[in-house]
Amino acid sequence: MIAACEAWSGRFIGSLGADAADLMCAGTALAGAVLAEYEWQFERALAAAIVASPMAKRCAAANLEITDLARALHATARGLKLACKTREEFLKAMTAAVRMTCAPFKSTPADYEV
Q: Where do the structural domains in the chain lie, given as residue ranges?
A: 2-103
DSSP state for residue 1 in the 8-state scheme: -
pLDDT of residue 14: 66
Residue 57 has pLDDT above 80, yes or no: yes
Answer whether 0.85 is exceeded by the pTM. no
Q: Are 3 and 84 in contact (CB under 8 A)?
A: no
Which has more confidence, 56 or 4?
A: 56
User: What φ, ψ does residue 104 adopt, rounded to 5°?
Assistant: -55, 130
pLDDT of residue 114: 45
Q: What is the pLDDT of residues 3-32, one digit of tens each?
A: 666 665 666 676 655 555 555 555 556 666
- Give the whole-angstrom CA distance, residue 112 versus residue 114: 6
Backbone φ/ψ region at 63: left (φ over 0), alpha (ψ -120 to 50), beta: left
Q: What is the pLDDT of residues 60-97, one digit of tens each?
A: 888 889 999 999 999 998 888 888 888 889 889 988 98
